Amino acid sequence: MTDVSLPINLWEYEQLAKQHLSQMAFDYYSSGAWDEITLRDNRAAFERVKLRPRMLVDVSDRNLSTSILGQSLQLPLLIAPMAFQCLAHPQGELATALAAATAGVGMVLSTMATKNLEEVAAVGYKHNALQWFQLYIHKDRGLTRNLVERAYAAGYQALCVTVDAPILGRRERDVRNTFSLPPGLQLANITNISGLNIPQESAESGLFTYFAQQLNPAVTWHDLEWLQSLSPLPLVLKGILRADDAVRAVEHGAKAIVVSNHGGRQLDGAIASLDALAEIVAAVDNQAEVLVDGGIRRGTDILKALALGAKAVLIGRPVLWGLAVAGQVGVSHIISLLQDELSIAMALSGCTSIQDIDPSLVTFKH
């Protein structure tokens, strides 16, 4: 990437994105729940972890590739599921999917996408890309079944079930803005089935109203067996923050776990994802692959997460900033920046491959 007009790091992308987004859209993307303590702590957790680099290692050649659930990635990175990407750019999830696929990283498509899952899958299929479908379990089991069956038919390789949102966390910036989708945007994976949509006017945010009406707060571990009966797709559970829940996830058939607090958007005061990671990795004991999201802004952050046991990381908001600034080009550049930074961080830490990254590389600031 040689365009000197583009930002040189993810922080600059965020600042520039403010100029390209409405206040309502920027607040929706950037906000956390209540006092945004967990939102800030996700970032602070990475700053508390310090690197202990190895010296005098031949790092002239470095290999950043890995695999997740048997599928190859050019670097240990997936795009996290994020709703309403067409708020950032008209091509929305299609642009994100193309950027991810051409870079050889994974993408998790949100149930609440503004492009339909078949369109997005077709982009990834052309590049043999890793694509998972993120699922919210709705009160209407027929709707949930329909989404699973469509995802399987479209070629998604896993179901990424969000388990930390039985109800929606209170995001006060959305309440203040009475967040709703602007005319012309809709829930592309749901509206075509049932006429459901984000309410356009509500005393709360439209998203809060939608969750209260449609998503099922009664879901338990037993529902995973039903989900598994709907397709052969492996289950990935996203939103685990405790070791005992991680063990239960494995016992109930999860093939991968995403350590996540929903980007600080659900329970404010919850533990930072990175702080929960090592304990969960130990508890899972290689019986499932463990990924992590929340607060990743530099290649060194990816290195730290891998050193603490993650197989890969997911990034969220920076992708939206890239999308808002320059569409597919912006998302591709975000990925490229992280790839270059991870490569440099590995070289300076004495690592020639992802397999060289281990817990000895990190320590914690007291």
Residue 7 to residue 10: CA distance in whole angstroms: 8
Identify the pLDDT of residue 210: 76
Q: What is the pLDDT of residues 208-252, one digit of tens each?
A: 777 778 889 999 999 999 999 999 999 999 999 999 999 999 999
Going from the C-alpha of 276 to that of each of 171, 265, 289, the distances in angstroms are 23, 17, 15
294 is known to lie in a ligand binding site: yes
Q: What is the pLDDT of residues 296-310, one digit of tens each?
A: 999 999 999 999 999
Residue 5's pLDDT band, with cuts at 50, 70 and 90, is: confident
136 is known to lie in a ligand binding site: yes
83 is known to lie in a ligand binding site: yes
Question: Which residue is catalytic, options 89, 138, 262, 333?
Answer: 262
Q: Looking at residues 93-110, what average pLDDT do you find?
A: 98
Residue 84 to residue 74: CA distance in whole angstroms: 27
30 is known to lie in a ligand binding site: no
300 is known to lie in a ligand binding site: no
User: What's the whole-number average pLDDT of the chain?
Assistant: 94
242 is known to lie in a ligand binding site: no
170 is known to lie in a ligand binding site: no
262 is known to lie in a ligand binding site: yes
Percentage of the chain surpassing pLDDT 70? 95
Identify the pLDDT of residue 285: 98
Alpha helices in 268-350 (DSSP H): 273-284, 299-307, 317-349
Q: What is the pLDDT of residues 154-182, one digit of tens each?
A: 999 999 999 999 999 999 999 999 998 89
Residue 224 to residue 233: CA distance in whole angstroms: 12
Identify the pLDDT of residue 205: 67
Residue 57 to residue 333: CA distance in whole angstroms: 29
4 class by beta-carbon count within 10 Å (0-12 exposed, 13-18 middle, 19+ buried): exposed
* Distance, first Cα to last Cα, the chain: 39
Q: Which residue has the tokens 């090592």?
A: 278
Residue 71 to residue 80: CA distance in whole angstroms: 17
Q: Six-digit token pair at 249?
A: 């996830």
Examine the residue annotation and report whether 222 is marked as an active-site residue of this protein: no
Q: What is the pLDDT of residues 79-90, one digit of tens each?
A: 999 999 999 999
CATH superfamily of 10-359: Aldolase class I (3.20.20.70)
The single-letter code of the amino acid at 39 is L
